[in-house]
Chains A and B, each alone.
Chain A
Amino acid sequence: MRLNSVGQIALVAAAIAYLLGVYFASSPVWMGFTINALIVAVIALSWNITGGFGGLSSFGHAAMYGTGAYASAILQVKFGLNAWIGFGAGILAGAAMGAFIGALAFRYGLRGSYFALVTLAFAEVLRICASSFEFTGGGSGLQLTLAPGIGNLQINDRTVVYTALLIVVAAVMALTALIKFSRFGAYLIAVRENEDAARALGIDTYKIKVQAMAISGAFGGLAGVLYLQLWLFIDSTVVYGSAVSVEALIGPIIGGAGTVWGPLLGTLGLHLLGEGAKHLLPNAPGLNFVLYAIVLICALRFLPQGLVGLAGRVGPFKKKENDNA
């Protein structure tokens, strides 16, 4: 989580100032919007583990997100289990789904665009299955019983929800930093840079990649469970839809894939842009999506390392050092 330039420090400070400023803004709109952005940030951080550090770009992170949400919802709705059990089970289910997809895809040596397509296919198959089977609520989806209380993981106080989400995002980022600077993280980055060379050096690349998918899946499942507990309703399109997979990868790409702060910064930046466009031009619904597209194209063209990479060029502390934000 090292910051290597004045620009990166300023960028991170701005994000922290915004997140703390929400407490004092006394605006339900900004609070609500930031709550949504933080949940998206969790799945963006999930994508960052495989896509950012491992170079395993997935187009189907909705598979893990949706599996986490559905596992928790089924346990609560169909089996009457407590929400906290569902919460844990959702994270485990997400991890299991990630490991399963990874094990299957990497077993056959899929990488690059083939891996991306397989993950997309998994998410789509799961979406169709979830809309077809009765135990997943079919097309009607699953609705949790409204029973506010910490015992049911349903919190009415928005400030408490916001604080809890800030803690969750901070925890996921801390884990991301821990992974990045661990031996496992080094192996994963080695796989990204040159998988054959990594294997030649004795790294079990298959195992590393499957483990990365499991960790990423756990974070994805966590994001799904958070969504479920916040809105108490899911259906196949909402949690397995391709929009989720796109949101998962767009934040890290804009913010800086393979960095700790990038997914959060990218997600917040994009959401702020969209929300700002909505407020400035209230009679032009959909303009935020146009802005999304323009920013994404510009980022891909001019910012290969995202916002963190751009900020790294402003007042660097040392020359010739990689971005570590």
Chain B
Amino acid sequence: MTFKIDRRDLLKASGAIAATLAAPSILRAQAATVKVGVIEPLTGNLAYNGTQSAAGAKFAADAINAAGGIKSMGGAKIELVVVDAQSRPEAAASAVDTLVQAGACAFTGATASALGLASSQAAAKHNLAQVFSIGTAETIVQRGLPNVFRFTPGVNKCTSVALTNLKLLNEGSGNSVKTAAIVHEDGPFGSNMAKIMKEELPKQGIEVVETISHPTPQRDFSNIALRVKASKADILIPSNYLNEYTLMARALNQQRVELKAIYSILGGAASNIKFVRENQEVAQYVMDCNHWYDPTKEESKALAAKVADAKLDLTYDIMVSYATIQVIADALERAASDDRQKMIEALAASTFDGSIMPYGPTKFVNGDNVNSQPVNTQIRGDKIELVFPKEYASAEAVFPIPAKN
């Protein structure tokens, strides 16, 4: 038996084989995904914040995918690779290995400076970009690492803006606040903040009449509240974490301490809706200078609705994590590739101004977004309103607090 294959048959067969071989790649192209890492502490003492941040990243990825994915990559969907940093620096650094193995092009994280310092250093060895959600320590952007991009403000900017805003508020109220009491936790965060306040407040004409430190954890704030009351301070400036902040506020209320304002910087509870929900009366008019989104943007409103549907607390962790995924998505759009080096270059050249945060166009100088800014929030009723700066405000600041009697 003999087979005769003519030129026409050969062409047909070749065409059929080529089409068959190409089919999987066409299918792959249609279902392409691009992997973006999320390193957050899902366990350990930072688990609450880390879980919130991971949820924020997921909301952002879902929104971007629903809007058509990364268009320059044929509508590639963002696939998040979430890894637990266990609230430990070495675990955060090891998590980078998981991302590299999974093929992530960049990642966001990691809630605490210590975790972010370790993860970004490990990522530098793999040329993998980290867009910091929260990392206030200034050393993060002082190491000269090309893969570091801090989207949100550091502690220096937060403190400086907070003091400027306090001055404006006080001047607006006819300098009604003349004396201050500082209550701080005795760790680095609280101690450093208290030191800055003691140096800077007198320059604004506010005398610091009482400074009280306490350990973390601390459960009984009665004596501290009484000391604040005895000091007759006009304003209280607390620097402590969520639980202590809550207990302190309750003790102040129980001891009927009359204050013209409670004003915190990167406050542990003052920008946490859980604190508002569980301490309605106590929390009223508490002011904070912290990370917060622009509530006037449509995407912010959509996020707030999704967070409510998911029965989660709308905290700044969710907001900043959402925004960092937006920044990464923008870089992906411009890089049109998930190549790590191209992502670093795209992030370094970022002028993105479509995030939910109240920032100007992104501009990274030595890895620090110079156009980021903290805002002032104030608890009003069952909401946290943005009161400063005016262009983003959702409510007018109430300063000083109206007298209870």
B94 and A36 contact, CB distance less than 8 A: yes
Q: Which residues of B contact A231 (CB under 8 A)?
A: 89-90, 93, 118, 121-122
With contacts A36-B94, A232-B121, A285-B84 taken as known, whether A139 is within 8 angstroms of B189 at the C-beta atoms is yes
Q: Shortest Cβ distance from B405 into chain A, in angstroms?
A: 40
Q: Which residues of B contact A29 (CB under 8 A)?
A: 94, 97-98, 101
Q: Does B191 contact A (CB under 8 A)?
A: yes
User: A32–B100 Cα gap in the complex (Å)?
Assistant: 11
Q: Which residues of A contact B90 (CB under 8 A)?
A: 36, 39, 227, 230-231
A131 and B188 contact, CB distance less than 8 A: yes
Q: Does B192 contact A (CB under 8 A)?
A: yes
Q: Does B243 contact A (CB under 8 A)?
A: no
Interface residues of A in 107-163 (CB under 8 A from B): 128, 131-132, 137-141, 143, 145-146, 156, 158
User: A145–B144 Cα gap in the complex (Å)?
Assistant: 10
A139 and B42 contact, CB distance less than 8 A: no
Contact of A140 among B93, B94, B139 (CB under 8 A): B139
Q: Count CB-based A-B contacts (< 8 Å).
A: 83
Q: Does A33 contact B (CB under 8 A)?
A: yes
B43 and A28 contact, CB distance less than 8 A: no
A138 and B89 contact, CB distance less than 8 A: no
User: A134–B128 Cα gap in the complex (Å)?
Assistant: 33
Q: Which residues of B contact A233 (CB under 8 A)?
A: 89, 114, 117-118, 121
Q: How large is the interface on A (under 10, 10 to 19, 20 to 34, 35 or more residues)?
A: 20 to 34
A146 and B101 contact, CB distance less than 8 A: no
Q: Does A278 contact B (CB under 8 A)?
A: yes
Q: Does A289 contact B (CB under 8 A)?
A: yes
Q: Which residues of B contact A243 (CB under 8 A)?
A: 88
A28 and B100 contact, CB distance less than 8 A: yes
Q: How large is the interface on B (under 10, 10 to 19, 20 to 34, 35 or more residues)?
A: 35 or more
B114 and A235 contact, CB distance less than 8 A: yes
Contact of A139 among B97, B122, B187 (CB under 8 A): B187
Contact of B43 among A27, A33, A141, A285 (CB under 8 A): A285
Give A139's nearest chain B residue, CB to CB. Answer: B188
Q: Which residues of B contact A6 (CB under 8 A)?
A: none
Q: Does B137 contact A (CB under 8 A)?
A: yes
User: A207–B47 Cα gap in the complex (Å)?
Assistant: 45
A138 and B188 contact, CB distance less than 8 A: yes
Q: Does B143 contact A (CB under 8 A)?
A: yes
Q: Does A169 contact B (CB under 8 A)?
A: no
B42 and A32 contact, CB distance less than 8 A: no
B42 and A28 contact, CB distance less than 8 A: no
Give A279's nearest chain B residue, CB to CB. Answer: B98
A238 and B88 contact, CB distance less than 8 A: yes
The binding surface of chain B is classed by DSSP as helix
With contacts A238-B88, A285-B84 taken as known, whether A143 is within 8 angstroms of B101 at the C-beta atoms is no
Interface residues of B in 119-143 (CB under 8 A from A): 121-122, 124-126, 137, 139, 143
Q: Does B207 contact A (CB under 8 A)?
A: no
Q: Does B186 contact A (CB under 8 A)?
A: yes
Q: Which residues of B contact A227 (CB under 8 A)?
A: 90
A138 and B192 contact, CB distance less than 8 A: yes
User: A230–B125 Cα gap in the complex (Å)?
Assistant: 12
Contact of B97 among A28, A143, A145 (CB under 8 A): A28
Q: Which residues of B contact A276 (CB under 8 A)?
A: none
Give A282's nearest chain B residue, CB to CB. Answer: B82
Q: Shortest Cβ distance from A26 into chain B, in angstroms?
A: 10
Contact of A138 among B47, B91, B117, B191 (CB under 8 A): B191
User: A146–B140 Cα gap in the complex (Å)?
Assistant: 12
Q: Does A31 contact B (CB under 8 A)?
A: yes
B42 and A286 contact, CB distance less than 8 A: yes
User: A230–B97 Cα gap in the complex (Å)?
Assistant: 14
Q: Shortest Cβ distance from A96 into chain B, in angstroms?
A: 25
With contacts A138-B192, A231-B93, A286-B42 taken as known, whether A143 is within 8 angstroms of B117 at the C-beta atoms is yes
Q: Which residues of A contact B118 (CB under 8 A)?
A: 231, 233
Contact with B along A231-274 (1 / 0, CB 8 A): 11101001000010000000000000000000000000000000
Q: Shortest Cβ distance from A105 into chain B, in angstroms?
A: 25
With contacts A36-B94, A238-B88, A238-B114 taken as known, whether A156 is within 8 angstroms of B143 at the C-beta atoms is no
A140 and B125 contact, CB distance less than 8 A: no
With contacts A146-B145, A233-B118 taken as known, whether A289 is within 8 angstroms of B43 at the C-beta atoms is yes
Q: Which residues of B contact A132 (CB under 8 A)?
A: 186, 191
Among B42, B93, B124, the most chain A Cβ lie within 10 Å of the Cβ of B93
With contacts A233-B89, A286-B42 taken as known, whether A141 is within 8 angstroms of B114 at the C-beta atoms is yes
A146 and B143 contact, CB distance less than 8 A: yes
Q: Which residues of A contact B121 (CB under 8 A)?
A: 146, 231-233
A139 and B94 contact, CB distance less than 8 A: no
Jot down 29 A-B pairs with beta carbons below 8 A, ordered by A.
A28-B126, A29-B101, A31-B97, A32-B93, A32-B94, A33-B97, A36-B91, A39-B90, A128-B215, A131-B187, A131-B188, A138-B192, A139-B187, A139-B192, A140-B139, A140-B192, A143-B117, A146-B121, A146-B144, A158-B125, A227-B90, A231-B90, A231-B118, A233-B89, A235-B188, A278-B84, A286-B42, A286-B47, A286-B84
Closest 10 CB pairs of A and B: A139-B188, A285-B42, A32-B97, A28-B97, A286-B43, A138-B188, A139-B187, A285-B84, A32-B94, A29-B97
Binding site for A on B (CB under 8 A): 42-43, 47, 84, 88-91, 93-94, 96-98, 100-101, 113-114, 117-118, 121-122, 124-126, 137, 139, 143-145, 186-192, 215
